[in-house]
Structure 1
Amino acid sequence: MGATRPVTDDTFEAEVLQSDKPVLVDFWAPWCGPCRQVAPILEELAGEHDAIEVVKVNTDENPRTAAAYGITSIPTLNVYSGGQLVKSIIGARPKPALVRELGEYLG
Protein backbone atom coordinates (compact mmCIF):
# COMPACT_ATOMS: atom_id res chain seq x y z
CA MET A 1 0.00 0.00 0.00
CA GLY A 2 1.16 3.48 -0.77
CA ALA A 3 1.70 6.77 0.93
CA THR A 4 1.42 10.27 -0.40
CA ARG A 5 4.50 11.61 -2.14
CA PRO A 6 5.50 15.04 -3.42
CA VAL A 7 5.27 15.96 -7.10
CA THR A 8 6.89 19.07 -8.58
CA ASP A 9 6.49 21.30 -11.62
CA ASP A 10 9.17 19.15 -13.28
CA THR A 11 7.65 15.75 -12.46
CA PHE A 12 3.89 16.48 -12.71
CA GLU A 13 3.48 15.35 -16.31
CA ALA A 14 5.36 12.07 -15.88
CA GLU A 15 3.96 11.15 -12.46
CA VAL A 16 0.38 12.38 -12.85
CA LEU A 17 -0.65 12.85 -16.46
CA GLN A 18 1.18 9.76 -17.76
CA SER A 19 0.20 7.49 -14.84
CA ASP A 20 -1.42 4.14 -15.65
CA LYS A 21 -3.93 4.59 -12.82
CA PRO A 22 -5.94 7.51 -11.46
CA VAL A 23 -3.95 10.04 -9.44
CA LEU A 24 -5.37 12.19 -6.65
CA VAL A 25 -3.37 15.42 -6.46
CA ASP A 26 -3.49 17.42 -3.23
CA PHE A 27 -2.66 21.05 -4.05
CA TRP A 28 -1.57 22.48 -0.68
CA ALA A 29 0.75 24.92 1.10
CA PRO A 30 2.47 24.73 4.50
CA TRP A 31 0.67 27.83 5.83
CA CYS A 32 -2.82 26.47 4.99
CA GLY A 33 -4.69 25.19 8.07
CA PRO A 34 -7.33 23.18 6.19
CA CYS A 35 -4.52 21.58 4.14
CA ARG A 36 -2.96 20.31 7.36
CA GLN A 37 -6.36 18.93 8.44
CA VAL A 38 -6.86 16.92 5.25
CA ALA A 39 -3.25 15.63 4.97
CA PRO A 40 -3.61 12.71 7.44
CA ILE A 41 -6.88 11.66 5.77
CA LEU A 42 -5.11 11.52 2.42
CA GLU A 43 -2.31 9.44 3.97
CA GLU A 44 -4.94 6.98 5.19
CA LEU A 45 -6.60 6.83 1.75
CA ALA A 46 -3.21 6.23 0.11
CA GLY A 47 -2.53 3.37 2.51
CA GLU A 48 -5.97 1.81 2.16
CA HIS A 49 -6.54 2.02 -1.61
CA ASP A 50 -3.97 0.91 -4.17
CA ALA A 51 -6.25 1.59 -7.15
CA ILE A 52 -5.32 5.28 -6.91
CA GLU A 53 -2.05 7.15 -6.42
CA VAL A 54 -2.07 10.06 -3.97
CA VAL A 55 0.45 12.85 -4.51
CA LYS A 56 0.96 16.36 -3.13
CA VAL A 57 1.89 19.57 -4.93
CA ASN A 58 3.17 22.38 -2.70
CA THR A 59 1.73 25.41 -4.52
CA ASP A 60 4.32 27.77 -2.98
CA GLU A 61 7.20 25.72 -4.42
CA ASN A 62 5.48 24.71 -7.69
CA PRO A 63 3.59 27.75 -8.97
CA ARG A 64 3.69 26.70 -12.65
CA THR A 65 1.60 23.58 -12.07
CA ALA A 66 -0.83 25.40 -9.78
CA ALA A 67 -1.27 28.18 -12.36
CA ALA A 68 -1.60 25.75 -15.27
CA TYR A 69 -4.54 24.04 -13.57
CA GLY A 70 -6.20 27.22 -12.27
CA ILE A 71 -5.70 26.45 -8.60
CA THR A 72 -6.98 29.49 -6.71
CA SER A 73 -8.15 27.90 -3.45
CA ILE A 74 -6.36 25.32 -1.37
CA PRO A 75 -6.68 22.59 -0.51
CA THR A 76 -7.84 21.53 -3.95
CA LEU A 77 -7.98 17.80 -4.60
CA ASN A 78 -7.92 16.95 -8.29
CA VAL A 79 -8.23 13.47 -9.74
CA TYR A 80 -6.50 12.89 -13.08
CA SER A 81 -7.14 9.79 -15.15
CA GLY A 82 -5.68 9.12 -18.56
CA GLY A 83 -4.02 12.54 -18.49
CA GLN A 84 -7.34 14.36 -17.97
CA LEU A 85 -8.85 16.14 -14.98
CA VAL A 86 -11.89 14.02 -14.07
CA LYS A 87 -12.82 15.33 -10.60
CA SER A 88 -12.09 18.39 -8.48
CA ILE A 89 -12.86 18.83 -4.79
CA ILE A 90 -12.15 22.25 -3.31
CA GLY A 91 -11.73 22.57 0.44
CA ALA A 92 -11.12 20.12 3.27
CA ARG A 93 -13.65 17.34 3.84
CA PRO A 94 -13.97 14.66 6.52
CA LYS A 95 -12.85 11.20 5.48
CA PRO A 96 -16.35 9.72 4.94
CA ALA A 97 -17.23 12.56 2.55
CA LEU A 98 -13.99 12.12 0.61
CA VAL A 99 -14.51 8.37 0.35
CA ARG A 100 -18.03 9.01 -0.95
CA GLU A 101 -16.87 11.61 -3.49
CA LEU A 102 -13.89 9.56 -4.65
CA GLY A 103 -15.57 6.15 -4.50
CA GLU A 104 -15.37 5.26 -8.19
CA TYR A 105 -11.59 5.93 -8.20
CA LEU A 106 -10.73 4.11 -4.98
CA GLY A 107 -11.40 0.66 -6.42
Structure 2
Amino acid sequence: MAIVNVSDQSFGNEVEGQGTVVVDFWAPWCGPCKMIAPILEELSAEIGDSLKIAKLNVDENPETASRFGVMSIPTLIFFKDGQPVDKVVGLNSKESLKNILAKHQ
Protein backbone atom coordinates (compact mmCIF):
# COMPACT_ATOMS: atom_id res chain seq x y z
CA MET A 1 0.00 0.00 0.00
CA ALA A 2 1.30 3.47 -0.78
CA ILE A 3 2.35 5.95 1.85
CA VAL A 4 -0.32 8.64 2.24
CA ASN A 5 -0.08 12.18 3.56
CA VAL A 6 -2.69 13.07 6.13
CA SER A 7 -3.82 16.31 7.73
CA ASP A 8 -5.80 17.30 10.80
CA GLN A 9 -8.90 17.13 8.60
CA SER A 10 -8.23 13.77 6.93
CA PHE A 11 -6.69 11.94 9.89
CA GLY A 12 -9.91 10.29 11.04
CA ASN A 13 -10.79 8.92 7.61
CA GLU A 14 -7.29 7.68 6.82
CA VAL A 15 -6.16 6.32 10.20
CA GLU A 16 -9.03 5.57 12.52
CA GLY A 17 -10.43 2.69 10.52
CA GLN A 18 -9.64 -0.98 10.41
CA GLY A 19 -6.28 -2.68 10.24
CA THR A 20 -2.77 -1.60 11.10
CA VAL A 21 -1.66 1.96 10.39
CA VAL A 22 1.67 3.57 11.23
CA VAL A 23 1.58 7.35 11.44
CA ASP A 24 4.87 9.18 10.96
CA PHE A 25 4.76 12.56 12.72
CA TRP A 26 7.45 14.59 10.96
CA ALA A 27 8.57 18.02 9.68
CA PRO A 28 10.57 18.98 6.57
CA TRP A 29 13.39 20.58 8.61
CA CYS A 30 13.94 17.46 10.76
CA GLY A 31 17.10 15.52 9.84
CA PRO A 32 16.13 12.22 11.52
CA CYS A 33 12.70 12.48 9.84
CA LYS A 34 14.46 12.53 6.46
CA MET A 35 16.50 9.50 7.50
CA ILE A 36 13.47 7.43 8.52
CA ALA A 37 11.52 8.15 5.31
CA PRO A 38 13.37 5.56 3.16
CA ILE A 39 12.99 2.98 5.95
CA LEU A 40 9.23 3.50 5.91
CA GLU A 41 9.20 3.21 2.11
CA GLU A 42 11.04 -0.13 2.37
CA LEU A 43 8.57 -1.36 5.00
CA SER A 44 5.67 -0.34 2.80
CA ALA A 45 7.16 -2.23 -0.15
CA GLU A 46 7.93 -5.35 1.92
CA ILE A 47 4.77 -5.61 3.98
CA GLY A 48 2.38 -4.33 1.33
CA ASP A 49 -1.36 -4.54 1.74
CA SER A 50 -1.42 -5.51 5.42
CA LEU A 51 0.04 -2.16 6.48
CA LYS A 52 -0.86 1.45 5.81
CA ILE A 53 1.68 4.18 6.45
CA ALA A 54 0.53 7.77 6.89
CA LYS A 55 2.71 10.87 7.21
CA LEU A 56 1.55 13.91 9.17
CA ASN A 57 3.53 17.17 8.97
CA VAL A 58 3.43 18.51 12.56
CA ASP A 59 4.10 22.11 11.47
CA GLU A 60 1.03 22.14 9.24
CA ASN A 61 -1.16 19.96 11.49
CA PRO A 62 -0.53 20.85 15.14
CA GLU A 63 -3.99 19.75 16.32
CA THR A 64 -3.46 16.04 15.67
CA ALA A 65 0.14 16.12 16.94
CA SER A 66 -1.06 17.70 20.17
CA ARG A 67 -3.96 15.25 20.49
CA PHE A 68 -1.51 12.33 20.56
CA GLY A 69 1.09 14.03 22.75
CA VAL A 70 3.81 14.29 20.10
CA MET A 71 6.59 16.35 21.66
CA SER A 72 9.59 15.19 19.60
CA ILE A 73 9.95 14.11 16.00
CA PRO A 74 10.13 11.76 14.34
CA THR A 75 7.45 9.98 16.32
CA LEU A 76 5.77 6.87 14.94
CA ILE A 77 2.43 5.87 16.43
CA PHE A 78 1.12 2.42 15.60
CA PHE A 79 -2.67 2.12 15.34
CA LYS A 80 -4.63 -1.12 15.34
CA ASP A 81 -8.29 -0.85 14.34
CA GLY A 82 -8.25 2.88 15.05
CA GLN A 83 -6.64 2.70 18.50
CA PRO A 84 -3.04 3.67 19.29
CA VAL A 85 -1.19 0.55 20.46
CA ASP A 86 2.48 1.58 20.39
CA LYS A 87 4.68 4.66 20.06
CA VAL A 88 8.32 5.07 19.02
CA VAL A 89 10.21 8.36 19.30
CA GLY A 90 13.36 8.99 17.30
CA LEU A 91 15.13 7.17 14.53
CA ASN A 92 14.79 3.38 14.63
CA SER A 93 16.07 0.60 12.41
CA LYS A 94 13.85 -1.25 9.97
CA GLU A 95 14.26 -4.44 12.02
CA SER A 96 13.16 -2.67 15.20
CA LEU A 97 10.04 -1.34 13.45
CA LYS A 98 9.28 -4.77 11.97
CA ASN A 99 9.46 -6.29 15.47
CA ILE A 100 6.97 -3.74 16.78
CA LEU A 101 4.66 -4.38 13.83
CA ALA A 102 4.84 -8.14 14.40
CA LYS A 103 3.42 -7.64 17.91
CA HIS A 104 0.33 -5.93 16.50
CA GLN A 105 -0.42 -7.85 13.30
The question of a shared fold, defined as TM-score above 0.5 by the shorter chain, is answered with yes
Runs of 5+ in structure 2 lacking a partner? none
Q: Secondary structure at the match of 1:10?
A: coil
Aligned to 1:34: 32
Q: How does 1:1-107 map to 2 (within 5 A)?
A: 2-17=1-16, 19-49=17-47, 50-105=49-104, 107=105
CA RMSD of aligned residues (A): 1.1
Instruction: Measure how far apart 1:21 and its partner are.
Output: 1.0
Distance 1:76 1:42 in 2: 12
Identity %: 46
Q: Secondary structure at the match of 1:15?
A: helix
Instruction: Measure how far apart 1:101 and its partner are.
Output: 2.1
The amino acid that maps onto 1:59 is: V
Structure 2 contact 18–82 (Cα < 8 Å) conserved: no
TM-score (norm 2): 0.92
